[in-house]
Amino acid sequence: MTITAIEARALGKRFARRGNWALRDCSFRLPAGRVCALVGVNGAGKSTLLALAAGLIAPTEGGITVLGGHPADARPDLGYVAQDKPMYPQLTVAETLRMGADLNPGRWDPDTAERIVSGGALDRDARIRSLSGGQRTRVALALALAKRPRLLLLDEPMADLDPLARRELMGLLMATVAEQGTTILMSSHVMAELEDSCDHLLVIGDGRVRLAGDMEELLAAHRLLDGPAQDGTSGAGPELGQDTVVVSHTTTGRQCTALVRDAGAAPPDGWRAAEPSLEEVIVAYLRNPEVPGLALDTVFAAPQEATA
């Protein structure tokens, strides 16, 4: 059994020879059976990474293995829902699902497809081109999930779903993970959605890995320190040991708040320590690209330098 679902080593992609890098020096390991949130600002390289993992585009440098082999070889075991949900516009919903069944003999689960489509009360005779964005998402998720994939690559899957559909389909995704041990790599900009459903995190900034690893371990590696600004070195942050990295700090009047990465040493005198939220950690790394990233569980690459 494969214990690594995706492994990227110094993975890089640029779409034109002299163009900018869409993804650069990206190294991480996603263990099988995890639900991984893929986070980054617009244009950070999330869709590029998902397309590389799906084997739809080739790396410019470095490499990526999926389910232990070349991404193209893993395709039968992959479910991929792209951001624009490409499907044949002239086919009806019923014809689209029938095509999914024909293309996946022996593994198609008609009950799952039926459950997803009927949840949205979709007309089976409606053509794909006539569906709303959320209805198209439903059909795309039905195709991806009914295939019983070992790895699901989802590019902002919930973006155009209403709140009820989000809950319903997120619940279904989580049930699938629990029943079948499916690995999910899912991009989203909605932190609350990710915090509730994911146990692993991959944050990309300017095409590079900023954070990668188990969500709880990443959170446990950080603390929010709160204390008097005048106690700080340069008057801004707390005085800390050499092993501590100040990821971000803000000063309001005489009060300073710093997000730090350390081994859990006692806070300096006069400072209070608290657990940061997931959003606080992610935002701090995205706002401060000069701070070295943190990739847990990646033995082949030290936390890389920030963007040049």
Ligand X SMILES: Nc1ncnc2c1ncn2[C@@H]1O[C@H](COP(=O)(O)OP(=O)(O)OP(=O)(O)O)[C@@H](O)[C@H]1O
Burial 57-70, CB ≥16 within 10 A → b, else e: eebbebebbbbeee
Dump strand ranges (E) for 104-207.
Answer: 151-155, 183-187, 200-205
Least distance (Å) from ligand X to the CB of residue 190?
12
Instruction: Using the minimum distance from each CB to ligand X, give the nearer residue, 57 or 101.
Output: 57
Instruction: Using the minimum distance from each CB to ligand X, give the nearer residue, 29 or 46.
Output: 46
Least distance (Å) from ligand X to the CB of residue 48?
3
Q: Chain centroid to CA 178: how far?
A: 19
Q: Give Cβ neighbours of residue 158 (< 8 Å, ≥ 6 apart).
A: 137, 166, 169, 170, 188, 190, 193
Least distance (Å) from ligand X to the CB of residue 222?
23
Q: Which residue is nearest to ligand X (CB)?
A: 22
Least distance (Å) from ligand X to the CB of residue 51?
8
Instruction: Using the minimum distance from each CB to ligand X, give the nearer residue, 15 or 300.
Output: 15
Least distance (Å) from ligand X to the CB of residue 295?
18
Sequence length of the chain is 308
Instruction: Using the minimum distance from each CB to ligand X, give the nearer residue, 5 or 49.
Output: 49
Least distance (Å) from ligand X to the CB of residue 208?
12
d(CA 4, CA 194): 21
Instruction: Using the minimum distance from each CB to ligand X, give the nearer residue, 51 or 169.
Output: 51
Instruction: Using the minimum distance from each CB to ligand X, give the nearer residue, 120 or 205.
Output: 205
Instruction: Using the minimum distance from each CB to ligand X, give the nearer residue, 208 or 261.
Output: 208
d(CA 205, CA 243): 23
DSSP 8-state secondary structure symbol assigned to residue 289: T
Say how many C-beta atoms besides its own lie within 10 A of residue 129's C-beta.
11
Tokens matching residue 208: 């590079």
Q: Chain centroid to CA 43: how far?
A: 14
d(CA 271, CA 255): 10
Least distance (Å) from ligand X to the CB of residue 211?
15
Give the alpha-carbon dihedral of 233, 235, 238, 243, to 10 degrees: -30
Question: What is the contact surface with ligand X in residues (CB under 6 A)?
Answer: 15, 22, 40, 42-48
Least distance (Å) from ligand X to the CB of residue 214?
22
Instruction: Using the minimum distance from each CB to ligand X, give the nearer residue, 30 or 51.
Output: 51
CA distances 33 to 36, 132, 155, 182, Å, are 9, 32, 18, 5
d(CA 307, CA 205): 8
